[in-house]
Amino acid sequence: MNARKNKKVASIARLVILASSGLLAQSTTPSPQTFSTTIYFDYSFWATNNGYITNTDPKVNANPMTNKFAFRRAYFTYENKISDDLKFRFRLDADNTGRLTATSGTKDDRLVPFVKHIYLDWAGLLPNFSLKIGMTETMAFKIAEDRWGLRSVAKTLVDGYKDITGADIRTSSADLGVNLTGAISKELRYGAMVMNGEGYSHPELNKYKKFGGYLQVVPVPGLNVWGYAEYEKLSDNPESAKMYKVDVYFDMISNLNISGELFTYNSDQKYNKVQQDDGSGNIVTVNKHYNIGGYSIFGTYKIIIDKLNIFVRFDNYRPNSTDSDKDMSLVIAGLDWAPIHSSWKIQPNVWFYNYKDANKKSDIVVNVTFFLSF
């Protein structure tokens, strides 16, 4: 056992020495250090007054609301290109604690900044290769996030899943770990990440690590297919969580992007307690596992390049595979308008929520999002 451990330590030490010798071999060309800020906030207006979340009847909703200004996000990013192959990023994120209908319930709901990214990005080990060490973006979110590109309007399907459905998926937009990406050829790229699994909000809470990886195939220019899988052991009991995701991006018509994202999440800790006949006439309570899943289709058309885009998105949510009444869909449509410069945008958008459960009436929310980046 000790010999095995020593071998493991020796292998890690070899890797560290190899990596550091490569890093030291880089001469350091001082390059621009950049500071940037991105902020977005919006004005939301409830276009319905009897929906599941927009109900303004005080008997149903103790704190009915019809419109609000919400300051949703502020990022402050410092980047330092230490050499041609070595970069450093530090990003603070100030998040909004209130959701569409509720606040945190504490006395104070002001925006609180926290560390979102802090990593070294080294591209010097192999050609077409990048290694990130630290708190980095996770691949589960980044693939779709980069493509959707309208984070100010809405999070992508998996990222915003909990906000929309309340179902918790144990995954995060950033995590502490090691992240590798590279390309074997222009038709085939890959990525792999080992991380704590706790995201950016907690330190490591167990001895297990989460593993994620993807393969990206680009058979013809403009057609991208990504397959992503994630695995994490959750406890000493044989419990684990897995996520599988497929993303397809189509970029073959001038000024038009169409994309699709499909995922399923399975955790041994996700189950309903149900009563059933054990076969001998006795009613017993058993745990019935369920999956969480959904898909998202979205497209953007550039009406005037760099000035005006129109976008539409359709999300389907299936937060409990054993209870289809929880299914719901969301349509988001709007404009992405930069009247003067791309650093300042106005993004009017409409959200239309539709629920499978006949008791839940549809909601329509109109937002005017203001985006600033400098």
Partner 1 sequence: MFYAKFKKAIAIAEIVLAFIFAPILLAQKKMIQVKGSDTMINLVQILAEEYMAKNPKSPIAVSGGGSGTGITALINGTCDICDTSRDWKDKEFSLAWEKGIKPRLFAIAVDGLSIIVNEKNPLTRLTMDQVGAIYRGDVKNWKTVGGPDMPISLYGRQSNSGTYTFLQEHVLNNKNYSPDMKEMNGNAQIIEGVKADEGSIGYVGVGYIIDKATAKPMKGLKVLDIAKDAKSEAYSPMDKAAVDSGKYPVARPLWQATNGKPSADEAAFILFELGPEGQKIVEGEGFYTIGAKYIEANAKNLK
Per CB under 8 A, 166 contacts partner 1: no
Which stretch in 68-76, 157-165, 200-208, 250-258 sits in contact with partner 1 by CB under 8 A?
250-258
Select 11 or 34, whichever has its Cβ closest to partner 1.
34
Measured between alpha carbons, how far is 250 from 257 in angstroms, rounded to an integer? 6
Of residues 110-129, those binding partner 1 (CB under 8 A)? 127-128
Q: Which of residues 72-111 bind partner 1 (CB under 8 A)?
A: 81, 83-85
Phi, psi at 345, each rounded to 5°: -130, 150
> Residues with Cβ < 8 Å from 314, sequence gap 6 or more?
296, 297, 298, 329, 330, 331
Tally Cβ neighbours within 10 Å of residue 192: 15
Q: Does 183 bind partner 1 (CB under 8 A)?
A: yes
Of residues 107 and 186, the one with the C-beta less far from partner 1: 186
Task: Give the residues across from 215 on adjacent strands.
Answer: 190, 227
- Considering only the stretches 25-33, 66-74, 167-175, 237-245, report the one whose residues sit in contact with partner 1 under the rule CB under 8 A: 25-33
Q: Which stretch binds partner 1 (CB under 8 A): 132-140, 162-170, 214-222, 240-248?
A: 214-222
Decide whether 9 or 252 has the Cβ nearer to partner 1.
252
Stretch that binds partner 1, among 28-36, 53-61, 319-327, 360-368 (CB under 8 A): 28-36
Tokens matching residue 183? 């390309």
Asked if 30 touches partner 1 (CB under 8 A), the answer is: yes
- For residue 63, CA distances in Å to 59, 103, 365 come to 10, 11, 17
The span from the CA of 187 to the CA of 183, in Å, is 8
Residue 303 makes contact with partner 1 by CB under 8 A:
yes
Q: Mask of contacts with partner 1, 307-336, x by CB under 8 A?
A: -x-x--------------------------
Backbone phi and psi for residue 178, each to the nearest 5 degrees, phi listed first: -125, 135
Nearest approach, Cβ of residue 283 and partner 1 (Å): 42
CA–CA separation, 365 and 70 (whole Å): 13
CA atoms of 161 and 261, how far apart (whole Å) = 13
Contact 240, 233 (CB under 8 A): yes
Catalog residues that contact partner 1 under the rule CB under 8 A: 26-32, 81, 83-85, 127-128, 183, 186-187, 189, 218, 221-224, 251-252, 254-255, 302-306, 308, 310
